[in-house]
Amino acid sequence: MTPFRAPIWARNPHTQTLLGALRERVGSEVLTRERVTLPDGDFLDLDWLTPAPRTGPAVLILHGLEGSSRSPYITRLLRQCRAAGWQAVVMHFRGCSGEPNRLPRGYHAGETGDLQAIVDLLTRRHPEGVCAVG
């Protein structure tokens, strides 16, 4: 495998980040929202790629800090999942789905309970397999 070498005009990693957001505008994928109640009484919103592909694993997509299913990098990933025939779902962390949560609790990198609840849910629904990317 050949190591990645950025072109001279994109050697700065900040430039690469900005170019990724500014390049082609990806059309919004069709998503269906599902609200999942968590054990503590709060909720997380899941945006499912619809219509669901017929084959492949379920792909759980985790956005970055203050991202959402409408972030350009997420819409590109959704489009790639559709092309591969995979069912994809974006998990919005607390406070990131466009609606305030019920409890005064945010998310952070060390909070794994919400992710575990969603992975458990998807594993029950998709016994053929679940993978995550984020």
**Cα 108 → chain centroid:** 15
Q: What pLDDT was estimated at residue 8?
A: 86
Strand 87-91 versus strand 43-49 pairing type:
antiparallel
Taking the C-alpha atoms of residue 41 and residue 9, their distance in angstroms, rounded to an integer, is 49
CB 87 within 8 A of CB 58: yes
Task: Kindly report, residue by residue over 3-20, the tens digit of the pLDDT.
Answer: 878 888 878 877 766 666
The whole model's pTM is what? 0.79
pLDDT tens digits, one per residue of 72-130: 889 999 999 988 888 999 999 998 899 999 998 877 778 899 999 999 999 999 888 89
Which is nearest to 117 in space by CA: 91, 89, 87? Answer: 91
* Residue 123 and residue 130 in contact, taking contact as beta carbons nearer than 8 Å: yes
Compute the distance between CA of residue 52 and CA of residue 55 in angstroms, rounded to an integer: 9
Q: Please, what sign has the CA dihedral across residues 79, 56, 66, 32?
A: positive
Distance CA 89, CA 14 (A): 28
- The H-or-E segment that residue 49 falls in is strand 43-49
Look at strands 130-133 and 87-91 and give their pairing.
unpaired
Is 118 in contact with 46 (CB distance < 8 Å)?
A: yes
Domains of the chain: 27-133 (3.40.50.1820)
Q: Taking residues 55-82, report their average pLDDT.
A: 88
Q: What is the pLDDT of residue 120?
A: 96
Please report where in the chains the tokens 């962390």 appear, as a residue.
93
